[in-house]
Structure 1
Amino acid sequence: MIYTTEVPHLNSGIRSAVTLGKFDGFHRGHQKLVECIKQKSGENCRTIIFTFDLPYKAYQQKCMPKLLLTYEEKREVAEALHADILAECPFTEELMNMEPEVFVKEYLVDRLHAEYVAIGSDFHFGHNRSGNPEVLSALGEKYGFTVEIIEKERDGEREISSTYIREELEQGRMEKVQKLLGYPYFIKGEIVHGRQLGRTIGVPTANLIPPPMKKLPPNGVYVTQSSVGGKVYSGITNVGYKPTVKENFIGVETYLFHCNEDLYGQEAEVRFYKYLRPEKKFDSLSELKTQLDIDVETARAFFEKEYGQALELRLS
């Protein structure tokens, strides 16, 4: 997959199937759009996911929202969806004030040579968000490309959206988040040195400091799996400030079952499956160790039930 922060300019003779949107989360609705353009791909037709680095509201309000996917994570998911090109363009004043037809002519027609465009039913673009699916369809007829308006994926009576996922994430409902996304919610980062207090109670941990733009689940303990160096480890993860040892920054600390390797400096991807309990201050490390024993047994039961993994996870 090609990743670019500019609007691509395809060579003459190369056409494209394009989907446009914010794509925060690349949830099941977004994946449906990508599948539509993939059906149009071919030797002379590239599949292009066209998005912007900032949501419209963030640019207006001059503040960066917490994102379901960081830029790096968005690239990873787009590559897993097998798109040819992810164009994540800077959202500028010029773009915000561009008339819909100018956007279509300069970008979709002149640069991307679009022959097919798939959009959601709530898609808006251009000056004052005056471009909508009907406007785009009319411009498609004028400039010779097909527009398909894709209905939203639904979860029962509700449409699947990034807003819906954020609401569920804020409640720690990780099973529902996974269902809406189509994959487990995850956080990526480099494993850094902590205080290594976990080793004193037989629970060595891998510590990540999440990117500032990443939206985190509520502080607490979760059943997780972590991918590090091509290996996958089941575990439990604490999100928060670790009040028992009085950290002053929010972190993601994971106990990886059956892992005695030195992982410092490596990149880890922590996938969240189930919320276990809120973060809690214990009176001693001994009390913390007792609770972690319980958390590990709960995680073991979860993996055995969901994945048939008979894991010997008890802390030593």
Structure 2
Amino acid sequence: MIYTNEVPVLKAQERSAVTLGKFDGLHRGHQKLIACMKQKKKENCTTVVFTFDVSPLVKLYHKPAKTLLTNEERQELAENLGVDVLIACPFTDAVMNMEAEEFVKEFLVKRLHVSYLAVGPDFRFGHERKGNPELLKQMGTQYDFTVEVVEKLTDGTREISSTYVREELEEGHIEKVNALLGYQYFTRGEIVHGRQLGRTIGVPTANLIPPVSKKFPPNGVYLTRSKIGEKEYDGISNVGYKPTVKENFLGVETYLFNCNEDLYGQEAEVRFYHYLRPERKFASLLELKGQLDIDMAKGRQFFADLHEKL
């Protein structure tokens, strides 16, 4: 897959199938759009996901936003979904002020030679968000491309959206988050040296500091599965500031079941399966150890039941 921050100019005879949007999370609704677009591979179209390097809302309202996926994570998931080109277009002032018609002519027609376009019914683009699916259809007639307005997937009566996923994540409803995404919510980072207090109570842990842009569920203890190299480990993870030992940064500290390896310096992917309990401060390390024993027993049972179902 090609990942680029510039809108490329395709070869003269090359045509593309494109879908446009923010694509934070690449949830099941996004995957439906991509699946529609991928059908056009049979017509020798290059499949293109067109998004922006930052959310337009961040640029417009100058508010930093935590995202469900980092740009790197979105890139990898898009590649796994079979996308040919992922464009993370810089949301510059020039792009922000570009009229919708000019956006279509310059980017979609002139550069990408669009043949097919898949968008959701509420898709808006261009200066003052004046562009919509109806405008795209009108311009499709003029510039010889087809537009498919793809109905949104629903969960019960509610449409699946990044906003919906964020709301459930903020409540710690991990199973619901994973169902909406179509995969386990995860974070990545390098395993770093902590204070090694876990070793003193017989519970060695792997510590990682996640990307600052990544959105997290509430601080607390979660049942997780970690991928490190080619191996996977069930375990429990604490998300937060470890109040018992007074850390001053948000971290993810994971006790890996059945692992005694030296993992420092390796990258870990921690996938969330279930919220266990809130983060809390203990009076002593001994009291913390007692609670961790309870947490680990619940974790081992959870994953044993999960393995049985599989």
Which TM-score applies when normalising by structure 1?
Answer: 0.96
State the shift of 1:64 in Å.
Answer: 2.1
Deviations 1:105-146 (A, max 9, x none): 111111111100000111111010000111111111110000
Measured in 2, the distance between the counterparts of 1:36 and 1:307 equals: 33
**Distance in 2 between residues matched to 1:47 and 1:64, nearest whole Å:** 30
Moved over 3 A (4+): none
1:252 aligned to 2:247? no
C-alpha RMSD over aligned residues: 1.3
Shift in Å, 1:95: 0.8
| Distance verdict in 2 for CA 1:4–1:294, change over 3 Å | same
In structure 2, C-alpha distance between the alignment counterparts of 1:45 and 1:132, rounded to whole Å: 23
- Give the SS at the match of 1:83: coil
- In the TM superposition, residue 8 of structure 1 has moved relative to its aligned partner by 1.5
Other-structure match for 1:284: 284
Alignment of 1:121-270 (within 5 A): 121-270=121-270
Which residue of structure 2 aligns with residue 28 of structure 1? 28
Q: Percent identity?
A: 66
Alpha carbons 1:25, 1:74 under 8 Å: kept: yes
Query: How many residues matched?
Result: 310
Q: 5+ unaligned residues in a row in structure 2: which ranges?
A: none
Q: Give per-residue Cα distances to partners, 1:120-176, cap 9 Å, x unaligned.
A: 111111010000111111111110000000011100010011111111000000000
Note the residue ranges of structure 1 that are not aligned, 5 or more in a row.
311-316
The answer on whether the counterparts of 1:228 and 1:269 sit within 8 Å (CA) in structure 2 is yes
Query: How far 1:309 sits from its partner (Å)?
Result: 8.3
Q: SS at 1:41's partner residue?
A: helix
CA distance in 2 between counterparts of 1:227 and 1:204 reads 17
Query: How many Å apart are 1:180 and its aligned residue?
Result: 0.5
Deviation at 1:60, TM superposition (A): 0.8
Amino acid at match of 2:37: I
